[in-house]
A and B are shown apart, each in its own frame.
Chain A
Amino acid sequence: MSQADESIAARDWERAVALLKAAGRKVDPRREIDKANRARYNLSFCYYMNKQFYEANVLAEHLARRYPQGGLSPKATEIGMQALAEAYNTYTEVDRAGDLERLIDLAKYAATTWPDREQGDDAHMNLGLIYQGRGQYDQAIAEFAAVRDRSPKKIEAQTRLGAAHWAYSRMLDRRGEKDKASAESRVAIELLDKTLKARQAADAGPTDAGLIGNAADLAVALTETGKPADALELLDPISKAQTSKTGASFARLMEATLLAQINSGQVEPAIVAMKALEESGSTTSRAQLYFKLGKLLERELDRLRDKKDTAGLKKMRQSYRSFLTALTESKSGQTYESLQWAGESLLALDAGAEAEKVLRRVLNEAISNPAFLNQAGGKERILRTKLKLADALRSQGSAERKKLDEAASMVEELLSQYPRYIEPMIEKGMLLESQAAAGQAEWSAAFQHWQELAQRMSRTRPRPLSYFDAWYHAADALHHQKEDTKARQTLNGIMRLNPGVGSPEMKSKYEHLLGSMK
């Protein structure tokens, strides 16, 4: 046993396991149960440290369940629970749910067996986290609330309780149960505010991870209940006090700040916060924040466009472009959605070359990932990326003809793979227009394609917007062929039968084209 202790001290877990197993064989548990169980406890710990989680769990649970009065049993339960949590995170490919069910079972046992000990509190916390992760908020709330008042983890439990009430309120809100949602969010904000004050009273500084998480949770709740200014007021002094600009806590702080800034319409500070977030090195998924920031920036572009503020528009487009480029260059936290969104946004800003770069990266990463290809909707996502890539290549066609050729071969490939999909056909029409504009094809070919496509969609009820757009492009091709009369007849004919032509924007396009042919 002393050799095993030395190995443990040296963190030589494999040797410690071998020595403890040998020691265990020499003990007869029927005569020396305390000695045998001490060896088992140490062995369980070494197995855990050696990442043999199931072995660690078996020994720990044996002590916990068969010898609940044993001095080491509550502590063994901690190893058992942690081992199952690690197994859940490690052995993800097969029967993952089995680990979680077993963890729930052990945590329930610990909470019942040691209600007055820290291990019972830990069990409640674990159960709360699991239930919250599963969206079983009422059960999560009950577990966090069950942590004893004198527990050293009481404040943490109350903070998590607040977060659980908040998550529950969002679920109710999505269900349309507005009154209940509002009541839950009030409870959440009260709890989070109280725990934040308790932390501050206990001298937790602004760099304390618990305090930052608590403040961030409260700020998110304030922002989403229409008080982003209060959230920024809360976060600002904490942000200023941060000495380290990396790590999960700082990222959490920046996320909450960014959300509040977006909701306050603070464009420039939001871009700064997003850059800080990207530089923090945190790898959590922020796709939703990207979308929100993108929407904010798009709204800001529209506002400037409506104001006819050319200088402001140019400046904002440049800021947006820089932000998107910086975002895509970040190696961390990227998802298919975030990169695809960035690529498409760059395309909308006429940044074809940058969009091409990003979309190629999206495509390469997606194709080389079998899990992505096999998931539901994987193939459709790749189709979308390829179409956008063809668009990006086409947009550079006037300057580089080979880009246009590459776009053409990509479109042909998609048409052969997806002969019934409408999107590749639309892109084919756009390509024919670009080729005609570059002198590589005739406008008549473009007209022919759009007309066929429109006729193909004419049987669909209600008629999709793409139907009206196809006729618009057909008329535009006629206009380029200098067949304005035929073009006008086409547009007027469609408008006579369908006065709204699908949307106000489409009607405006029709009217603009008709106006240009007067």
Chain B
Amino acid sequence: MSSRLPGQGNFTRLWKALPAFLTLAMGAGLALADEVTLVPGASVKQAIGGRVRGQVQSESPGEVVVRLGTSTTSVPTDQIVSIRYDGQPATLQLAETRESAGQLAEAAELFKKAAGEAADKPFVLQMALYREASALADLALVEPDRTKDAKDRLLRFVQAHPTSRHIIPAREDLARLQLNTGDFAGAEATIAELAKFPKAGDRAGVLRAKVLAKQSRHDEAISELDRLIAAFPDRSIGQREARLAKAESLAGMKKYKEAEGLVRQVIQAAPPEDVAAQSAAYNTLGDCLRADNRPKDALLSYLHTDLLYSKDKQEHPRALFHIEKLFRLLKQDGRADEYAQRLRQEYPRSQWLNTK
């Protein structure tokens, strides 16, 4: 067996070729300005360091076509994390910074402003409009009085841009919002539209199961979710969401031990710093343990969301609410008051403030 490391034999050749390569890359950098960042592990032709640099030629719900010099490459939309367009307004970057800091209202305003500044750049415009609507949808999950505004923006977007690469996430956001407000008919209609996209069939399935669970049709939900869990690739986001949804349905059927086992699998399988995955999982775990009359274990579960994953503005107030209730149950009124105060201060418009 050779003791050489892979590629070691070509080292000299690469070294000699390096100046030419650098020249080429720099030249390409100047001419090809749009940058597509890919999900980790994506295999896309002509991608370097997880990125494809070129000129975005077209966008559709299924793919983005990028021109690189004289050739083109097709990037599936489910392999894309983000796209930075050449000449996009600086306001867009500012909006993203606000969004990642959890300042959703400010972010929505800035995305709106960026859309105005990019009126002559259709891909940038679509992205800004979608991100504005999406930020408002996230905000509405925390502050229900913003729901109508968020729904209007999303509806306007899906009607105006039915072939945008953002159409699948936009319909998902809309369905989630409708589900959250108990508009099951609206959610089912949105999910039916979503299911028409070949790449969104399974995600539509998870949402459909969530509608069933909200209607207490847990058996049907679980049967749908089992099918999806088997269909999704292992450790994929889709599989994780399906497992969590199944755990919620199991808890709804008072099968707490089974639900707990499933959520713990999700927690273990997801990276420890994956805020979206862990916050939802720990809150669901807390719900299962609370229902199973294990208040201290439930408290510890919700505290994970508070102490480690508070960036998730949808899950964080839910955790604060339950921590307050559990400390009160443990006859620690001082601690309970402290968390009630935090919920009021950090989420003054949260629906959890009105929950009994």
Contacts and interface: CB of A to CB of B under 8 A. Distances in A.
Instruction: Give the dominant DSSP class at A's interface.
Output: helix
Contact of A93 (B297, B307, B330, B335): B330
B300 A95 contact: no
A33 B273 contact: yes
Contacts of A500: none
A98 B294 contact: yes
A106 B345 CA distance: 34
Contacts of A55: 303, 307
B330 A91 contact: yes
Interface stretch (A57-65, A165-173, A265-273): A57-65
A99 interface: yes
A94 interface: yes
A29 interface: yes
Given A94-B295, A94-B330, A98-B295, A29 B303 contact: no
Nearest to B305: A58
A354 to B, nearest CB: 40
Contacts of B307: 43, 55, 58-59, 62
Contacts of B299: 54
Interface string A70-104: 00000000000000000100010111001100100
A62 B272 CA distance: 8
Interface string B149-164: 0000000000000000
B304 A58 contact: yes
Contacts of B329: 94
Interface string A6-48: 0000000000000000000000011001001000100100000
A91 B332 contact: yes
Contacts of A98: 294-297
A66 interface: yes
Nearest to B331: A93
- B contact face: mostly helix, strand, loop, or mixed: helix
A67 interface: yes
A54 B303 contact: yes
B215 to A, nearest CB: 33
B304 A95 contact: no
Contact of B330 (A40, A57, A67, A95): A95
A101 to B, nearest CB: 8
B303 A95 contact: no
Interface string B254-291: 00000000000000000011000000000000000000
B50 to A, nearest CB: 14
A58 B303 contact: yes
A86 to B, nearest CB: 13
B300 A58 contact: yes
Nearest to A88: B296
Interface in B293-325: 294-297, 299-300, 303-304, 307-308
A184 to B, nearest CB: 36
Q: Which of the listed residues B296, B299, B331 has the most CB atoms from chain A within 10 Å of its own CB?
A: B296
A52 B297 CA distance: 15
A36 to B, nearest CB: 8
Contacts of A67: 272
A69 to B, nearest CB: 13
Size band of the interface chain B makes with A: 10 to 19
Nearest to A91: B330
A94 B329 CA distance: 8
Contacts of A33: 273
Interface in A206-250: none
Contact of B295 (A36, A57, A62, A95): A95
A59 B332 CA distance: 20
The residue among A36, A52, A95, A102 with the most chain B CB atoms within 10 A of its own CB is A95
B297 A94 contact: no
Contacts of B303: 54-55, 58
Contacts of A29: 273
Contact of B294 (A30, A36, A62, A95): A95
A102 B332 CA distance: 20
A87 B327 CA distance: 13
A291 to B, nearest CB: 35
Contacts of B295: 94-95, 98
**Which of B294, B297, B304, B307 gathers most chain A CB within 10 Å?**
B307
A55 B296 CA distance: 12
B101 to A, nearest CB: 9
Contact of B296 (A43, A66, A95): A95
Contacts of B335: 52
Contact of A99 (B272, B273, B296, B304): B296
A95 B332 CA distance: 13
Contacts of A87: 296
A357 B210 CA distance: 70
A29 B304 CA distance: 15
A24 to B, nearest CB: 9
A62 B307 CA distance: 10
B71 to A, nearest CB: 33
Nearest to B338: A52
A40 B332 CA distance: 24
A245 B306 CA distance: 49
Contacts of A30: 273
A36 B272 CA distance: 12
B261 to A, nearest CB: 15
Contacts of B330: 91, 93-95
A94 B331 contact: yes
Interface string B321-356: 000000001111001000000000000000000000
A287 B255 CA distance: 47
A125 to B, nearest CB: 23
A346 B329 CA distance: 45
A33 B271 CA distance: 12
Interface in A457-497: none
A30 B272 CA distance: 9
A102 B296 contact: yes
Contacts of A93: 330-331
B296 to A, nearest CB: 4
A244 B39 CA distance: 69
Nearest to B274: A30
Contacts of B294: 95, 98
Interface in A131-168: none
B28 to A, nearest CB: 27
Contacts of B304: 58, 62
Nearest to B303: A58
B292 to A, nearest CB: 11
Q: A-B pairs with the 8 shortest C-beta distances? A: A98-B296, A66-B272, A29-B273, A58-B303, A95-B296, A94-B330, A95-B295, A30-B273
29 contacts: A29-B273, A36-B273, A52-B335, A54-B296, A54-B299, A54-B300, A55-B307, A57-B300, A58-B300, A58-B308, A59-B307, A59-B308, A62-B272, A62-B308, A87-B296, A91-B330, A93-B330, A94-B329, A94-B331, A95-B294, A95-B296, A95-B330, A98-B294, A98-B295, A98-B296, A98-B297, A99-B296, A102-B297, A102-B300
Interface of A: 29-30, 33, 36, 40, 43, 52, 54-55, 57-59, 62, 66-67, 87, 91, 93-95, 98-99, 102
Given A33-B273, A94-B331, A102-B300, 13 more contacts: A30-B273, A36-B273, A54-B300, A54-B303, A55-B307, A62-B308, A66-B272, A93-B330, A93-B331, A94-B329, A94-B330, A95-B296, A99-B296
